[in-house]
Amino acid sequence: MAKKGYTPKDHFFKQAKSQGLRARSAFKIDEIAKRLGILKKGARVLDMGAAPGGFLQVIADAVGPAGLVVGVDLAPIRPFTQPWVRTAVLDVLAEDFDGKLKALYDGPLDVVVSDLAPKTTGIRTTDEARSQRLAHKALDVAMARSALGGHFVAKLFMGGDFEEFRAAVKGAYAEVKLVRPEATRGGSMEIYVAGLNRRP
C-alpha cells in the first residue's frame, strides 16, 4: 500500500514521460537552476547521484556543447548522445572515489550538484545520519574542486544535524538558500541546500 501523499504516477511523472525525461526529478533541478541562476553556458558541472539521468538531461541542455557534465552513481546510467556528458559507476564513499573522479575530469568545477540519497531503513535518525554523510561528502568534493564563485546544491533529509550542515555551507559560500522544489513528493523530508558564489 502506498504511503499517504505518495502517488507513483503523479502529474510530474506523466509530464516527464511525455517530455522524454528519464525521471520526474528533472523538474527539481530545472526549478532550482532557474530560481538561483546556477547553470550557465559553458559551465563544468558534477552531478553526484545522477542515475537514471534526469538531472543530467537538464544540465546538459543548460551548459551546451561548450560545457562539460560529469555524472556518477552506484547504478549504471544509460549513455548520452551528447559528447560533453561523461558518466561512470562510482561509489562516492569509497576510498578511491576522488582519484577515479579526477580520472574522469581533473579541472575545476563551476557547479557541484548532489542528489545522493541513502537506502532508507524507516528509522528516521538512521536515515537522517546517512543522508548527512552523503551531503557532507558532496560538500567535501565541492570544497576540493570548485572554482572561485562556483555553486553547490545538495539534497538531504531535514532533522538531525541539518543546521550544522547548513552552517558548513554558509562558511564556504557567500549566500545559502533552502529550496523545496514543487516536484518534491508530498510527505518527503528532503530539501535542497544551495551554496552560491564560493568564497576565496
Model confidence, pTM: 0.89
Q: Is residue 17 part of a domain?
A: yes
Does 155 qualify as catalytic in the annotation?
yes
Looking at residue 158, what is its pLDDT? 85
From the list 17, 100, 102, 155, the catalytic residue is: 155
Distance from C-alpha of 46 to C-alpha of 8, rounded to nearest angstrom: 28
User: What's the CATH number where 101 sits?
Assistant: 3.40.50.150
**Is 51 in contact with 77 (CB distance < 8 Å)?**
yes
The answer as to whether 140 is a domain residue is: yes
Q: pLDDT digit string (tens) for 61-86? A: 999 999 999 999 999 999 999 999 99
Is the peptide bond prior to 118 cis by the omega test (within 30 degrees of 0)? no
Q: Is residue 169 part of a domain?
A: yes
* Within-domain flag for 25: yes
In-domain check, residue 144:
yes
In a domain, 192, yes or no: yes
- Looking at per-residue pLDDT, the higher value among 14 and 82 belongs to 82
| Residue 2, domain member (yes or no) | no
Is residue 6 situated within a structural domain?
no
HSE of 124 in the Cβ direction (CA atoms, 13 Å)?
7
| Dihedral in degrees, nearest 10, Cα atoms 139, 141, 145, 150 | -30
Say how many domains are in the chain.
1
- Chain segment 153-174, per-residue pLDDT in tens: 999 998 878 999 999 999 999 9
Whole domain around residue 105: which residue ranges?
A: 11-198
